[in-house]
Structure 1
Amino acid sequence: MIYVFGGIKGGVGKTTVALNFVQFLAGGLQKDVLLIDADDQETATDYTAWRDSTLDGQLGYTAVKITGDAIRSQMPNLKKKYDDIIIDTGGRDTRSQRAALTVADVYLIPFYPRSFDFWTVTKVQHLINEIKIVNPKLKAITFLNRADIRSADNRDTATALEEAEGITYFNFPLLNRKCFSNAAGKGLSVFEFEPKDEKAINELNALFEEIIKLT
């Protein structure tokens, strides 16, 4: 499966979720996973370098940097070598994101409730509609990240996403927990970080298990 993490608005914690999904697949399910960093900010690449140092080269997955149309042209060969491919794209409508979506099976778009603007959903819908002309099998999934379950913003955003046509909303929010940044700072996933935050792990598992049901 080819999973693309992206969206139109930055600052929603997209890369953090993508990196934890990589470990869910590679470490938890023992899949052979390729991580493609297609984001100009190169956060996934920096994380991987830090992880390589922390774990003495035992990454648990393969990571490469590919951008632009090369994502599309190289995918037929890469698909033969890995069980799953995770593509982390920028939080805006870029050539790299569009190239990734033309070959993707699943498009994963996290939303941050406190920065929510309905125009963002509308722009995502327009992008998906354009991509589905060339990739009709694409499944677009949204979920809340860095959420506060008690917040009215959280409820309003969830309602808007549930009503958005062409997008499936997964009601498995990831709450705003310190362990995400603490783990990433050491090149680790939340699954690996000590002391373990069982609530965060349970939230990730609930979301990710729902995602892989799409296969």
Structure 2
Amino acid sequence: MIYVLSGIKGGSGRSTISEHLTVWLAKDGADVLLVDADEQGTVSDFTAWREHTLEGQVGYTLVQLVGANLRKQVETIKPKYDHIVIDTGGRDTTSQRAALIVADVALIPIQPRSHDVWTLAKLTQMLEEIQASRLAPLRVHSFLNRADITSSDNRDTAEALATMAELGFLPHAIKNRKAYPNAGAKGLTVSEMETPDQKAMAEIDALFTHITHGSLISTTAA
């Protein structure tokens, strides 16, 4: 299965979700490839810290691929892996569109902030164009990320997303907890810390279990 972390708003936490999803998929011995398609190289930095912290036992393979050729390269290497996770930047780029064409599932983290909500029209337009150019529909799921622990913004944004069938909203919010940056600074996920944040672990597990084993909502081509 090929997953792409998508969106056109910076700072939504795509890289953190990419890192956690990669490690989560690999936890039972699956062979997972993490593709860094973001020129900022955040997941590459995470992997470098992880290699240092875990003394080389990263648990997955990392490659850096950008540009239109990403699609062809991923199609060529996908038979070698059980899963591929592609991290893209926060803009409508050639790399992101190539990733969306080759992927099976698009995951879109949304911060419950007005600036993020305002980008949804442009995001859905991009997804409509992608769906129209694919042979099979891309499965799309959005969810709240970096959400406040308690806030009316969470509810308002969730309600807005739920009305947009093409975004396949999932009611599994990832909260804005210190556990995520604290773990990331060491190249670890929240479940790998010496004293794990149980609430953060539960959020991640609920979201990824729904995505990988739950009833997935397929979008229809425009």
Deviation at 1:17, TM superposition (A): 1.1
1:187-212 deviation digits (Å, cap 9, x = unpaired)? 10111012111110001000000010
Q: Give 2:96's aligned residue.
A: 97
Cα offset, 1:76, TM superposition: 2.2
Q: Is the 8 A contact 1:125 1:165 kept in 2?
A: no
Q: 1:201 to 1:23 in 2, by over 3 A?
A: same
Gapped runs of 5+ residues in structure 1?
Answer: none
Aligned to 1:191: 191
Secondary structure, aligned partner of 2:4 = strand
Deviation at 1:178, TM superposition (A): 0.5
In terms of mean alpha carbon deviation, does 98-107 or 66-75 score higher? 66-75
Deviations 1:158-179 (A, max 9, x none): 0110001311000000111101
Contact 2:142 2:170 in 1 (8 A): yes
**Partner SS state of residue 203, structure 1:** helix
8 Å contact from structure 1 (residues 121, 164) kept in 2: no
Q: 1:43 — aligned with what?
A: 42
Deviations 1:124-143 (A, max 9, x none): 11011000112242011100
AA matched with 1:47: F
2-structure distance, mates of 1:195, 1:118: 34
Residue 190 of structure 1 contacts residue 197 of structure 1 at CA under 8 Å; is this kept in 2?
yes
Distance (whole Å) between structure 2 residues aligned to residue 18 and residue 49 of structure 1: 15
* Post-superposition offset of 1:56: 1.2
Task: Please state if 1:129 is matched with 2:128.
Answer: yes
Name 1:82's counterpart in structure 2: 81
Q: Secondary structure at the match of 1:158?
A: helix
For 1:145, the equivalent position in structure 2 comes to: 145
Q: Provide the residue aligned with 1:168 in structure 2.
A: 168
| Aligned-residue offset at 1:119 | 2.9
TM-aligned CA deviation for residue 116 of structure 1: 4.1
Which letter does structure 1 place at the counterpart of 2:8? I
Aligned residue-pair number: 214
Task: Encode CA deviations 1:98-120: one digit per residue, 9 max, x unaligned.
Answer: 00001110110101113544331
The structural deviation recorded for 1:123 is 1.0
Q: Residue type of the partner of 1:14?
A: R
Distance across 2 between alignment mates of 1:211 and 1:94: 25
TM-score (norm 2): 0.93
RMSD: 1.4
Aligned-pair CA distance for 1:150: 2.2
Contact 2:20 2:189 in 1 (8 A): yes
Does structure 2 conserve the Cα–Cα contact (< 8 Å) formed by 1:116 and 1:157?
no
The gaps in structure 2 that reach 5 residues or longer are: 218-222
Report the counterpart of residue 22 of structure 1 in structure 2: 22
Aligned to 1:63: 62
Q: Does the CA contact (< 8 Å) of 1:37 and 1:64 recur in 2?
A: yes
Identity value in percent: 51
Normalised to the residue count of structure 1, the TM-score between the two structures is 0.96
CA contact (8 A) 2:110 2:116 kept: no
